[in-house]
Structure 1
Amino acid sequence: MKYMIMMFGGVGETLRDRTPEWIAEMHALLMGIDAELRESGELVDSQKLMDPRAAKTARFVDDAALPTDGPFAEVKESLAGYWIIEGTEERALEIVSRVVKYIEFPMEVRQIMDQPPAM
């Protein structure tokens, strides 16, 4: 099974009250998990996302899609990055538990829908 592990947070909100040491340790933790997943062959894909201030938003306005630089989707937490792993739900939850214990921000695990075999 494939699972997407999503990390949420905004740069300002996540790092506002954190020390440089905390930020360095968080970076080391995330890079360590990334390396672990790569070495074990569990990693399918992993990406970090730009700050949400660089996002574009599309809304349905006057019977048409209108892409804009904002206002942005109204969410307290925005997607900051993700891992897609091949493994079990238990393994995905073990990974997020390690990160959440340190960063104290929510993460989400979602199974990726199985795709039918190519014909």
Structure 2
Amino acid sequence: MIMMFGGLGATLENRTPEWITGMQEHMMKLDQELRDSGELVASSKLTDPSQAKTVRFQGGVPVPTDGPFAEIKESLAGYWIIDATEERALQIAARVVEYTEFPMEVRQVMHL
């Protein structure tokens, strides 16, 4: 699983409209390459973290609240689940990080 962080809200304030358009095109091109190669298992973009709900244990009960964590600077923005080696997953993540400069995490999905 390749998880994309950042690129939401305040992290885009200093980016030009051309950069944002280029980043979107870069991501769509890479997504299509993964589809065409048969490596893509699943993928999805996520909504802005301001639309998230967080459930915390408070006063002995689970309590849902608006929003994610306080003062969040990086948030999960989307993911790809691919059928490939770790080396290949790291190559894919590096292509995105090279453009966005936002961190990405590569983690193997556990199989039962």
Q: TM-score, normalised by structure 2?
A: 0.93
The answer to whether residue 94 in structure 2 is matched with residue 97 in structure 1 is yes
Contact 1:10 1:52 (C-alpha < 8 Å) held by counterparts: no
1:69 to 66, 69, 72: 66
Larger Rg: 1
Unpaired segments ≥5 residues, structure 2? none
Aligned position for 1:40: 37
Residue 30 (structure 1) aligned with residue 27 (structure 2): yes
Does the CA-based 8 Å contact 1:10-1:51 persist in structure 2?
Answer: no
Counterpart selection for 1:84 from 78, 81, 84: 81
SS class of match (2:107): strand
How far 1:66 moved relative to its partner?
0.6
- What letter is aligned with 1:6? M
Which residue type is aligned with residue 16 of structure 2?
Answer: T
- Cα shift at 1:45: 0.6
Superposed CA deviations along residues 56-85 of structure 1, whole A, max 9, x for unmatched, are 010001111111114x32443110000000
User: Which of 44, 47, 52 is residue 50 of structure 1 equivalent to?
Assistant: 47
1:112 partner amino acid: V
Q: Which runs of 5+ in 1 are unaligned?
A: none
1:73-99, CA deviations, whole angstroms, 9 ceiling, x for partnerless residues? 244311000000011001100001001
Q: Aligned-pair distance for 1:13?
A: 2.7
1:14 and 1:90 map into 2 onto residues whose CA distance is 28
Which amino acid letter does the alignment assign opposite residue 58 of structure 1? V
Deviation, 1:10, is: 4.6
Percent identity, aligned pairs only, is 64
RMSD (Å), alpha carbons: 1.2
Which letter maps to 1:12? G
Q: Report if aligned partners of 1:6, 1:81 keep a CA contact under 8 Å in 2.
A: yes
